[in-house]
Amino acid sequence: MTASPGASTYCFMGRPLGEALEALAGVVPLVEILSDSTHSLFSCADVCASFDLRYTVHAPTSDLNIATPNERLRQASVQVIADLAGVCDEIGAERLVVHPGFCMERGIWAASEAALLSSLHDLSRLQEDAAVTFAVENMGSWPCCHFRDPGLLPVLDDLGLGFALDVGHARLTGTLDAFLREGRPVHLHLHDNHGTTDEHAACGSGCIDFSAVRSALPPSATAVVEVLEPAAVGESLAYLGRVW
């Protein structure tokens, strides 16, 4: 990695974006904005200019599904990401993290996979005109989610899309070693767990070997601590400072 890890606004979703950025600005040089709910950059992007920070952005998680076979909804999800990429360019964001979508009914899983592939091609074309790098995130233990193992990595490479490695998700699916071996992430989400639930706990409080993660990272990768509680940001940074 080229710089120290940053932190996500995920742990401050109950507070306005300006307050979240103010709380993190004195702690980290890089902040990832979860552009959802009260932190939506479609309504408060102007706040970003008030802080001397580097930014990455996480696309909304609650309303988008780029793997839905419903073509109107799929196109709408891609359009939201396209619009958000424009905002990312305005604030100088370095990465735009995108979830790969989900399918709640096994009977239409193949159709959902086809929809995801269509969306990835759309994102590849969008990225050609954007300054921000798109990064598709691996998902955790929920069976409804796509991209739970490294199988999608060659597709992302062929399309010129980035890979965002969520180490906590990979630990839950037993794929962390495989992702580190087969992938070259452009971005990372750092948090810990005990191998059973997606705790988003402080780094060093669970069972993830962060030394192995660090040794496998490309030098250009960015990373943010993505924890549930504000206090876990400092705990994570202190721990990573020791082991990294």
pLDDT in tens, 81-102: 999 999 999 999 999 999 999 9
> What is the helix, strand, coil percentage profile of the chain, to 5?
45, 15, 40
The upper half-sphere exposure of residue 204, i.e. CA atoms within 13 Å in the direction of its Cβ, equals 14
Mean predicted lDDT score pLDDT of the chain:
97
Give all domains of the chain, ordered by start, each with its CATH number.
6-243 (3.20.20.150)
Give the C-alpha separation, 82 to 91, whole Å: 15
Residue written as tokens 């990595």? 153
CB 34 within 8 A of CB 63: no
Stretch 69-89: mean pLDDT: 98
Which residue's entry shows tokens 């080229």?
2
What pLDDT, in 10s, does the model give residues 115-172?
999 999 999 999 999 999 999 999 999 999 999 999 999 999 999 999 999 999 999 9
Q: Give the pLDDT band (50/70/90) at residue 2.
A: low
Dig out the tokens for 63 from the structure.
Answer: 């309303």
For the whole model, what pTM was predicted? 0.97
Q: Say what the pLDDT of residue 1 is.
A: 63
